Amino acid sequence: MILPTKHVSTARSLLGLGAILLSLLERPQTVTALWDRARLLPPLGTFERFTLALDFLNIIGAVGLSDGLLRRCSHDR
């Protein structure tokens, strides 16, 4: 479910969903605002999958939450 397999397409895996969410996170926004933009996308399906994808992105350091806003993390050094 995290990675695509022969039974789970890339778009339905958490990795694929994370990529979709990152593409929608062009600027800092609330989780609710991101959900409003993403919920009608067919691969996303449910709020549970949305939160799992956000958790995955947070665990790998791709997004962070500060001051109530979800932001892409920058790893520039």
Q: Quick one: DSSP state of residue 29? A: B
- Amino acid found at 9: S
pLDDT at 66 over 60: yes
**pLDDT tens by residue, 5-60:** 888 888 888 999 999 999 999 999 999 999 999 999 988 889 999 999 999 999 99
Q: Any idea where the domains of the chain sit in the sequence?
A: 10-72
For residue 76, the model assigns a pLDDT of: 58
- The whole-angstrom separation of Cα 38 and Cα 66 is 20
Instruction: Give me the phi and psi of 66, to 5 degrees please.
Output: -145, 140
Task: Determine whether domain 10-72 maps to CATH 2.10.25.
Answer: no
